[in-house]
Amino acid sequence: MNDYASRVLEDLKARNPYEPEFLQAATEMLSSLTPVLDKHSEYERAGLLERFVEPERVISFRVAWVDDQGKTQVNRGYRVQYNSAIGPYKGGLRLHPSVNLSILKFLGLEQILKNSLTGQPIGGGKGGSDFDPKGKSDREVMAFCQSFMTELYRHIGAYVDVPAGDIGTGAREIGYMYGQYKRIKGLNEGVLTGKGISYGGSLTRKEATGYGLCYFMDNMLTANGRTMNEQTVIISGSGNVSIYACEKATELGAKVVAMSDSTGYIHDPQGVQLDVIKQIKEVERGRISEYVRHVSSGKYFEGCAGIWSIPCDIALPCATQNELDTKAAKALVQGGCFAVGEGANMPTTLEATEYLLAKGVLFAPGKAANAGGVATSALEMSQNSMRHNWTFEEVDRKLRDIMRNIFEKTAEAAKTYADSPTNYVIGANIAGFLKVADAMMAQGIY
Ligand code: NDP
Ligand code: 2IT
């Protein structure tokens, strides 16, 4: 690693000893930047990296709400406004009991680079709460979302900070939050993305992350003499990203044979029936284990880790961070997997990433491969500002172009800077970093 980057990393470790996910994301980014840091000594004089890794602002607040038993519940809400050099802070809100500052800082740091890669004018941010929407009634979710927004509204705005969905935050939660923002501010503006189509949402936003992942994979495979057609695919998770990755992969001729949730996974050698998954997950908010009650060729297995032992050509981890470790990576290689595409944020551990790269597995890093979601959020912002709606086909076409561009930028940076032209991890980090660095250098020290 470059000396300057290594000093910044050591300092970061000393100052944030209890933030393992954040340090993991920072380690990957800083180690990737060596070739550009070697060339740009002016970055060190401007303290660029020290500023890059420190969020511009971290907001933490109490979220009190009343449950269906009349009991008062208290959660912790956050917004990390990480970097506004190239545009308003942009990034999702995660609602999951595991949410803490380490997780939101790792997500925020990755978001800066991801948003830069999209080519659109959006800075990096992330937020959320340790609230668990699972098992809560609609009224309880509404009460939480209204209370959350009653604090958050003063920190956000269409040209300031534009949150969106992430784990546990879908159209229902965005609807309740948008309603509360409008009620407090008396203002209809594009302050959130992922909105319902009837009140300013963009067509294709729901599908965008999963579709975008498959468009990225398609570009990466084509560049390496392969295609998605007739490949056997496994996808972890069965949420927003997984469902639409499955839909597009199938459209591109692949056969998806396994999907999961946080309790287990299903294996269906005939090919997963996505309408059944959608019914269970999107309509009933149920467990994936119910799949086998509807489809006789499906089998259910308890626990998440076993999914990686199913032989496949392509693996798409689309659930959560660090779900794919070295043991899983070895099982994938053993089972014949030749490409991995990260639909989730940082689903692969550092060691597993290195193992896969060393084995010649084509590896699409999340900050490039899953950028279609936020890119389409930025298209939603444009439509809101213009007071105009594009058709599904128009947005989908723009999404395809954006994903092709992201792949090309990533591949170009890999070719220029990395030891191997297929090290897209280094390519994505460098291509994302350079634009933000340039903007930060131009705007003076702050
Ligand atoms: P959802 O809440 O819709 O789905 C999440 C899925 O992952 C569920 O199947 C869930 O299972 C599973 N999951 C969540 N946490 C865990 C865990 N700790 N262990 C095992 N499984 C888990 O979220 P999304 O699909 O929106 O997000 C999935 C990933 O994609 C996240 O990493 C997110 O940051 C990333 N991402 C999302 C984007 C978007 O537009 N939504 C854009 C780019 C990236 P269960 O239902 O049992 O909890
Ligand atoms: O991780 C991500 O890119 C997201 N959760 C989507 C963020 C957004 O603003 O659409």
Which residues are registered as beta bridge partners of 75?
Answer: 63
Please tell me the chain's helix, strand, coil percentages from 3-state DSSP, rounded to the nearest 5.
50, 15, 30
> Residue 183 phi/psi, 5° resolution?
-65, -40
What is the average pLDDT across 379-403? 98
Comma-separated ranges of CATH 3.40.50.10860 domains in the chain: 3-190
Q: What is the pLDDT of residue 441?
A: 98
Q: Whose CA is nearest to atom 10 of ligand 2?
A: 374
CA atoms of 69 and 67, how far apart (whole Å): 5
Query: How sure is the predictor about 208, in pLDDT bands with cuts at 50, 70 and 90?
Result: very high
Ligand nearest to C-alpha 284: 1
What share of the chain in percent tops pLDDT 90? 100
Question: Is 278 tagged catalytic?
Answer: no
Measure the CA–CA gap between 2 and 6, rounded to whole angstroms. Answer: 6
How many A from CA of 428 to the centre of ligand 1? 22
pTM: predicted TM-score of the whole model, two decimal places = 0.98
Greatest C-alpha distance within the chain: 64
Please tell me the distance between residue 381's alpha carbon and the centre of ligand 1 in angstroms: 23
Which is catalytic among the residues 90, 126, 136, 206?
Answer: 126
Q: Which ligand is nearest to the CA of 96?
A: 1
Mean pLDDT of the chain: 98
Residue 245 near residue 344, CB atoms below 8 Å: no
Q: Give span(s): CATH 3.40.50.720, the chain.
A: 207-360
Looking at domain 207-360, which CATH architecture does it have?
Answer: 3-Layer(aba) Sandwich (3.40)
**pLDDT, tens digit, for every residue of 295-348?**
999 999 999 999 999 999 999 999 999 999 999 999 999 999 999 999 999 999
Mean pLDDT of 369-387: 98
The ligand 2 atom nearest the CA atom of 194? 10
Q: Could you report how far apart the first and last alpha carbons of the chain are, in Å?
A: 26
Query: 246-267: per-residue pLDDT in tens?
Result: 999 999 999 999 999 999 999 9
Best of 90, 93, 111, 320 for a ligand 2 pocket test (most atoms within 8 Å of beta carbon) = 111
Instruction: Supply the DSSP symbol for 422.
Output: T
Q: State the helix-helix crossing angle for 372-386 and 392-417, rounded to 10 degrees.
A: 130
Atom of ligand 2 nearest to the CA of 122: 9
Mean pLDDT of 431-443: 98
Please tell me the predicted confidence (pLDDT) of residue 182: 98
In this prediction, residues 209-221 reach a mean pLDDT of 99
Top-level class of domain 3-190: alpha beta
Distance 187 CA to ligand 1 centre (A): 31
pLDDT at 191: 98
Helices (H) and strands (E) in the chain, counts: 18, 12
| Residue nearest atom 46 of ligand 1, based on CA coordinates | 261
Sheet containing 72-83: order of strands: 57-66, 72-83, 123-129, 89-95, 161-164
- Name the residue with the closest Cα to ligand 2, atom 9: 91
Nearest Cα residue to atom 20 of ligand 1: 262
In contact, 51 and 122? CB cutoff 8 Å: no
Tell me, what's the pLDDT at 89?
A: 99
CA 83 to chain CA centroid, Å, is 17
- Ligand with the closest atom to the CA of 277: 1
Which pLDDT does position 24 carry in this prediction?
98
